[in-house]
């Protein structure tokens, strides 16, 4: 996916400043979880392909930096050396652009905090926490971030340079491309779930999703992006396609369907989509319904997890439709999954269960996982999970 010789190879260290073209909510305004459709102008910098992803390099929210500095009792002007650099910069700048600080405490961070605590009680408590066995440590770390360690332990005075060394670098985030270049050339469209969750009495927002969903201005902001290969690939045009993509996992399948529509691909298409509520979280509803009407989608199977008394997930629909799913699969269909890791694991498990029922695989966990591995190796099963 490298651009021609006369263009730079865009990557995490050399991203392209794409123009933030547009942003629109994909669900209803009242949805508990907001997801935003975003379009970024690539101005010929690099090509995009169906099934690919785009990397976004973003900065921390300046308000979050200020709150973190306040909690740490550190001066943002203190010069520190950022990661992979030899040149000093003010701590506030390094925190904003280079480091990840909205993170759960690690034993190393707790040990460093303990050493810097002037209160013997706090020091002892922090040392004890740092030495907890992994399961108890995980439980302790799940309910607080590093910022809380400072507010819970007012005598901790961590050195700015040490903090800058201990914090992990701010990594780019990947997003699945939601458009085919045939439907909208020179543009990267993505569906971004706005990460937001309560923690220790405050609301934490995702660094990059927060940047894209809240802090960018359409027509003005430049977003640093680079192309990244994805796991999903469109099979040959005549191959049937089973796509399982609840939530933001639907994004690459929108791209696939756009592509198949534009190219008149003859293979049949079956999409399993789902989310919490039909009235609030039916992303790309009009497009999907139109493709169902036109016949591009042979089937559109929908699972709403919070509309009924019991959870209903895409894997339940797969199982209910297992006879037809298996006919498609045995007939050569490619089976694609995209979305959360937990969901993908359960969908793969369901596919293996179907294979067992149909006699293609023995019922032991070992043979199920060998069967899935073999299907992945022959690219009949493509899974992009995050």
Ligand X SMILES: Cc1cc2nc3c(=O)[nH]c(=O)nc-3n(C[C@H](O)[C@H](O)[C@H](O)COP(=O)(O)OP(=O)(O)OC[C@H]3O[C@@H](n4cnc5c(N)ncnc54)[C@H](O)[C@@H]3O)c2cc1C
Q: Measured from the CB of residue 249, what is the shortest distance to ligand NAP in angstroms?
A: 6
Compute the chain's Rg from CA coordinates: 24
Confirm or reject binding of residue 173 to ligand X (CB under 6 A): yes
Q: Measured from the CB of residue 175, what is the shortest distance to ligand X in angstroms?
A: 4
Decide which of ligand X, ligand NAP, none touches 306; Cβ closer than 5 to 8 Å per partner kind: ligand NAP
- Tell me how far the alpha carbon of residue 157 is from its chain's centroid: 34
Tell me the two tokens of residue 277. Answer: 């509520």
- Residues of this chain that interact with ligand NAP (CB under 6 A) are 33, 35, 193, 246-249, 274-276, 305-306, 311, 313-315, 339-340, 342-343, 346, 386
Confirm or reject binding of residue 248 to ligand X (CB under 6 A): yes
Tell me the two tokens of residue 186. Answer: 């020179």
Decide which of ligand X, ligand NAP, none touches 301; Cβ closer than 5 to 8 Å per partner kind: none
Q: Kindly tell me the burial class for residue 366, based on how many C-beta atoms sit within 10 Å of its own C-beta (0-12, 13-18, 19 or more).
A: exposed
Decide which of ligand NAP, ligand X, none touches 206; Cβ closer than 5 to 8 Å per partner kind: ligand X
How far apart CA 188 and CA 19 sit, in angstroms, is 10
Decide which of ligand X, ligand NAP, none touches 346; Cβ closer than 5 to 8 Å per partner kind: ligand NAP
Q: Measured from the CB of residue 353, what is the shortest distance to ligand X in angstroms?
A: 26
Q: Which is nearer to ligand X, 253 or 371 (CB)?
A: 253
Q: Which position has the token pair 């005075």?
A: 157
State how beta strands 196-199 and 16-25 pair.
unpaired
How far apart CA 140 and CA 152 sit, in angstroms, is 13
Q: Which is nearer to ligand X, 53 or 350 (CB)?
A: 53
List the x/- string, 183-212, binding to ligand X by CB under 6 A.
Answer: -------xxxx-x-x--------xxxxx--
Q: Which is nearer to ligand NAP, 52 or 246 (CB)?
A: 246
Tell me the two tokens of residue 251. Answer: 């994004």
Confirm or reject binding of residue 180 to ligand X (CB under 6 A): no
Residue 274's beta-bridge partner residues? 303
Contact 386, 176 (CB under 8 A): no
Decide which of ligand X, ligand NAP, none touches 274; Cβ closer than 5 to 8 Å per partner kind: ligand NAP
Contact 183, 92 (CB under 8 A): no
Q: Please report, as ranges, the residues that interact with ligand X according to CB under 6 A.
A: 53, 102, 173-176, 190-193, 195, 197, 206-210, 248, 251, 384, 386
């Amino acid at each position: 996916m490298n651009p021609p010789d006369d263009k730079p190879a865009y990557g995490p260290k050399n991203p392209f400043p794409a123009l933030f073209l547009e942003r629109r909510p994909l669900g209803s305004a009242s949805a508990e979880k907001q997801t935003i459709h975003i379009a970024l102008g690539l101005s010929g910098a690099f090509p995009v392909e169906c099934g690919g992803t785009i990397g976004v390099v973003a900065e921390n929210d300046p308000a979050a930096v200020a709150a973190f500095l306040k909690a740490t009792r550190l001066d943002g002007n203190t010069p520190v050396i950022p990661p992979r650099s030899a040149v000093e910069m003010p701590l506030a700048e390094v925190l904003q652009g280079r480091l990840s600080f909205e993170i759960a405490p690690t034993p190393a961070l707790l040990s460093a905090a303990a050493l810097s605590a002037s209160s013997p009680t706090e020091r002892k408590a922090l040392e004890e926490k740092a030495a907890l066995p992994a399961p108890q440590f995980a439980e302790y770390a799940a309910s607080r971030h590093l910022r809380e360690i400072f507010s819970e332990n007012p005598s901790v005075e961590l050195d700015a340079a040490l903090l800058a060394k201990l914090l992990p670098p701010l990594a780019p985030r990947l997003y699945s491309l939601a458009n085919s270049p045939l439907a909208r050339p020179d543009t990267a469209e993505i569906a971004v779930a706005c990460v937001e969750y309560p923690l220790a009495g405050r609301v934490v927002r995702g660094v990059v999703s927060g940047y894209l969903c809240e802090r960018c201005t359409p027509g003005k902001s430049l977003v640093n992006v680079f192309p990244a290969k994805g796991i999903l690939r469109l099979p040959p045009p005549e191959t049937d396609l089973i796509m399982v993509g609840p939530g933001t996992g639907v994004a690459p399948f929108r791209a696939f369907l756009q592509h198949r529509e534009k190219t008149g691909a003859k293979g049949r298409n079956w999409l399993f989509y789902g989310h919490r509520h039909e009235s609030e979280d039916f992303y790309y509803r009009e497009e999907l319904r139109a493709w169902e009407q036109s016949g591009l989608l042979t089937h559109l199977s929908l699972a709403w997890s919070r509309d009924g008394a019991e959870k209903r997930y895409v894997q339940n629909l797969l199982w209910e439709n297992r006879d037809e799913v298996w006919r498609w699969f045995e007939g050569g269909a490619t089976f694609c999954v995209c979305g959360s890791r937990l969901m993908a694991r359960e969908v793969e498990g369901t596919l293996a269960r179907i294979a067992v029922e149909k006699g293609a695989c023995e019922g032991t966990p070992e043979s199920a996982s060998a069967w899935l591995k073999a299907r992945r190796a022959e690219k009949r099963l493509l899974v992009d999970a995050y």
